């Protein structure tokens, strides 16, 4: 009996050991399977992510190529295609005449049966057209590349791009050879950089403090909206509260501008540092006004409506992130959301940034080789009309190069750089202004960023609320405001009162806008380019003359109108008086 129990116990132990071994083996296999499954899931996730990225990149490349092809076809419809020769034979003309006659007969037969329907349809069309004319269009954002980004894909256009690189290289070699042979050392234009961007750290501090004020506008709007919501059942109190906030907003905007201008003078900022501060101040003012002007009507209407036609349950403003993105996006027209690209092209962004740096060096070379030799002695040497005229026309071409590169830097390279970093999709910062045949078209296409802001927030408001739908007076107000804010940065950066920009832009520009409408297309394009070369060259030259005349020929300030008299005119009169006394 004892042996039986022992044998049974041994069998149980053996079976238990087998079960344990089986369980351990099963557990090991399960662990291995789990590990293998996890690895496969990780590999699957990586593969799917890579495939998704490749498909997205491929789709973006296809869409980009299609957009480029579409733009190239629009700009060059018959490019690289032989022009068909016109057939002037008698048989051809007879065939064309017969075809036209048959088509006219068919149209007459058709119109006889539906005459009443045609008239009714035409009347409805005229009514709809008149209604459409009365309605002002809104800015629509879509994913698209800049004109030059697309056009430079064409080899023939890329050659022009390489020509500007060659011009930059020539200026660089000219500066190097001159510095080495004349001065004995090569500075690469860095002295001009050190002088022009001195005290830039003050500008950075002011810029950061300005953003504290800019961020405060958002929370001030939230405060206004929340209190107005509480007072919505008391219309008088709500309107009075809105009037107080409107007054404070207008005064704060003027204070914002005046503070930047006064700091420019008190800190005695050099030109480049001053122009950066002034342009950034104006940009922030335009950004703040766009945000306020776009969101205040939403609150007044009692609802918040986004681009996706969503209605918020409360009267709160859009999230702060939308406002923050708008502050740095390369647009001045506010939207809650903008079309975004799928990825950042770092090589493209770096290329645009390097172009900005190269153009800055180009300006330094032009300043050292053309502006200083031609204009630095104004006020020291005898002045006469012939002498000034020779100096003006000798500088037209270098200044024209400055204009073209300024367009490329301000409206193409820098906006595309910031747009790429922020994945901002709409890159239509300008249009094909170089093909314009009149100034009316040129002003609309030259600077789309500023033009859209002026149209959305100045022209529309004056057209609807002030001038009773008068296009002429609304356009004139837009011109004069634009001319004023073109002149303010130059006057305060150079620290002189010389409103040449207002005169050229606000008066001559308005006259040319109406005069060039009558010119034929090709001749009008010639007149446009000739006037741009001469006008902008003279404008830059006049500012250079006034700046150096103020330095070399200071005048006594006895009355307030002495501030309004140009220094170069004072120097010219003094020179004539001295010559008369000597005689």
- Phi, psi torsion values for 87, nearest 5 degrees: -95, 120
Q: What percent of the chain has pLDDT over 70?
A: 75
Residue 451 neighbours by CB under 8 Å, 6+ apart: 443, 444
**Among 156, 201, 486, 563, which one carries the catalytic annotation?**
486
478-496 pLDDT tens trace: 988 988 898 899 889 988 8
CB 425 within 8 A of CB 566: no
Cβ-based neighbour number of residue 448 at 10 Å: 22
Helix (H, G, I), strand (E, B) or coil at 336: coil
Q: How confident is the model at residue 519 (pLDDT cuts 50, 70, 90)?
A: confident
Handedness of CA 354, 411, 155, 530 (dihedral sign): negative
pLDDT at 127 over 50: no
Q: How far apart are the first and last CA of the chain?
A: 154
User: Burial code of 225-263, b = ≥16 C-beta within 10 A, e = fewer?
Assistant: beebeebeeeeeebeebbeebeeebeeebeebbeebbeb
The pTM of the full predicted model, rounded to 2 decimals, is 0.75
Q: Measured between alpha carbons, how far is 185 from 179 in angstroms, rounded to an integer? A: 6
70 CB-side CA count, 13 A = 9
The band of 278, judged by pLDDT with boundaries at 50, 70 and 90, is very high
Rounded to an integer, the average pLDDT of 65-76 is: 60
Asked whether residue 73 carries a pLDDT value surpassing 70, the answer given is: no
Band of the pLDDT at 189, cuts 50, 70, 90? Answer: confident
Residue 418: which pLDDT band, with cuts at 50, 70 and 90? very high
Q: What is the mean pLDDT of residues 534-548?
A: 87
pLDDT at 135: 60
Quote the CA–CA distance of 421 and 351 in Å, as a whole number: 12
362 contacts 168 by C-beta, under 8 angstroms: yes
| Tokens matching residue 136 | 């002002």
User: 446: how many CB neighbours lie within 10 A of its CB?
Assistant: 18
Q: To which H or E segment does residue 451 belong?
A: helix 448-454
> According to DSSP H, which parts of 309-345 are helical?
320-328
**Domain-by-domain residue ranges, the chain?**
189-302+315-328
Give me the pLDDT at residue 103, please. Answer: 45
Alpha-helical regions (H) of 271-428 = 271-300, 320-328, 346-366, 372-375, 385-394, 396-408, 414-422
Backbone angles phi, psi at 378, to 5 degrees: -65, 130
pLDDT band at 293 (very low <50, low <70, confident <90, very high): very high
Identify which has the larger pLDDT, 445 or 387. 445
**pLDDT > 90 fraction of the chain, expressed in percent and rounded:** 27
Cα dihedral 364, 366, 367, 373 sign = positive
Question: Above 90 in pLDDT, residue 175?
Answer: no
Q: What mean pLDDT do residues 418-440 have? A: 91
Q: Which pLDDT value is given to residue 338?
A: 93
Residues 6-47: tens digit of each pLDDT: 666 566 666 666 666 656 665 666 777 777 778 787 787 778
- pLDDT at 515 (0 to 100): 83
Average pLDDT, the chain: 79
What pLDDT is recorded for position 150?
A: 87
CA dist 494 and 489 (Å) reads 8
User: How confident is the model at residue 427, as a pLDDT?
Assistant: 92
Residue pLDDT, tens place only, 138-172: 888 999 999 898 888 888 888 888 888 888 888 88
Res. 373: pLDDT tops 80:
yes
d(CA 45, CA 40): 8
Candidates 322, 330, 282; CA nearest to 304 is: 322
pLDDT at position 397 is: 83
- Using pLDDT thresholds of 50, 70 and 90, give the confidence band for residue 347: very high
How far apart (Å, rounded) are the C-alpha atoms in residues 66 and 395? 43
Average pLDDT over residues 123-134: 43
Residue 486 is a catalytic residue: yes
The answer to whether the CB of 145 falls within 8 A of the CB of 341 is no
Contact criterion met (CB below 8 Å) for 494 and 196: no
Cα 20 to its chain centre, rounded Å, is: 75
């Amino acid at each position: 009996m004892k042996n039986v129990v022992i044998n049974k116990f041994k069998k149980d132990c053996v079976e238990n050991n087998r079960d344990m071994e089986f369980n351990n083996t099963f557990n090991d296999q399960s662990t291995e399977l789990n590990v293998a499954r996890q690895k496969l899931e990780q590999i699957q996730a990586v593969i799917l992510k890579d495939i998704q990225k490749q498909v997205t990149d491929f789709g973006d490349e296809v869409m980009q190529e299609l957009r480029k092809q579409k733009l190239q076809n629009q700009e060059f419809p018959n490019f690289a295609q032989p022009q068909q020769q016109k057939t002037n034979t008698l048989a051809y003309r007879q065939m064309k005449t017969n075809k036209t006659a048959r088509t006219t007969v068919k149209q007459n037969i058709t119109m006889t049966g539906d005459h009443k329907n045609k008239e009714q349809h035409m009347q409805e069309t005229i009514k709809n057209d008149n209604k459409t004319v009365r309605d002002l269009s809104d800015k629509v954002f879509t994913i698209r590349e800049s004109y030059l980004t697309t056009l430079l894909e064409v080899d023939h256009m890329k050659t022009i791009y390489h020509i500007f690189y060659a011009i930059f290289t020539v200026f660089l070699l000219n500066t190097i050879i001159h510095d080495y042979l004349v001065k004995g050392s090569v500075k690469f234009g860095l002295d001009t950089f050190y002088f022009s961007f001195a005290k830039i750290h003050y500008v950075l501090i002011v810029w950061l403090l300005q953003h504290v004020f800019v961020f405060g506008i958002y929370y001030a709007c939230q405060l206004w909206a929340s209190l107005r919501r509480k007072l919505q059942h008391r219309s008088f109190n709500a309107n009075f509260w809105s009037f107080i906030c409107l007054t404070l907003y207008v005064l704060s905007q003027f204070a914002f501008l005046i503070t930047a201008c006064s700091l420019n003078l008190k800190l005695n900022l050099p030109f480049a540092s001053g122009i950066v501060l002034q342009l950034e101040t104006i940009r922030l003012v335009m950004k703040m006004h766009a945000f306020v002007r776009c969101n205040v009507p939403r609150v007044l209407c009692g609802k918040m409506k986004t681009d996706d036609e969503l209605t918020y349950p409360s009267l709160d403003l859009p999230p702060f992130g939308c406002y923050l993105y708008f502050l740095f996006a390369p647009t001045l027209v506010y939207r809650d959301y903008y079309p975004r690209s799928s990825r950042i092209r770092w090589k493209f962004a770096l290329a645009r940034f390097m172009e900005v740096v190269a153009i800055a060096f180009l300006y330094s070379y032009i300043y050292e080789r053309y502006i200083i030799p031609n204009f630095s002695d104004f006020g020291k040497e005898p002045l006469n009309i012939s002498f000034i005229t020779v100096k003006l026309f000798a500088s037209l071409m270098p200044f024209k190069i400055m204009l073209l590169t300024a367009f490329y830097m301000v409206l193409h390279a820098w906006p595309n750089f910031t747009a790429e970093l922020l994945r901002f999709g709409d890159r239509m910062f300008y249009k094909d202004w170089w093909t314009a045949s009149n100034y009316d078209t040129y002003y609309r296409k030259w600077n789309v960023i500023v033009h859209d802001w002026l149209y959305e927030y100045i022209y529309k408001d004056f057209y609807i609320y002030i001038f009773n739908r008068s296009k002429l007076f609304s356009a004139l107000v837009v011109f004069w405001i634009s001319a004023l804010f073109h002149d303010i940065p130059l006057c305060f950066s150079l620290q002189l009162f010389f409103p040449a920009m207002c005169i050229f832009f606000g008066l001559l520009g308005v006259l040319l806008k109406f005069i060039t409408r009558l010119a034929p297309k090709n001749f009008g394009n010639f007149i446009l380019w000739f006037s741009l070369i001469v006008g902008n060259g003279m404008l830059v030259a006049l500012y250079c003359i006034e700046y150096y005349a103020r330095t070399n020929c200071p005048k006594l300030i006895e009355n307030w109108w002495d501030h309004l008299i140009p220094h170069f005119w004072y120097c010219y009169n003094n020179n004539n008086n001295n010559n008369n006394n000597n005689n």
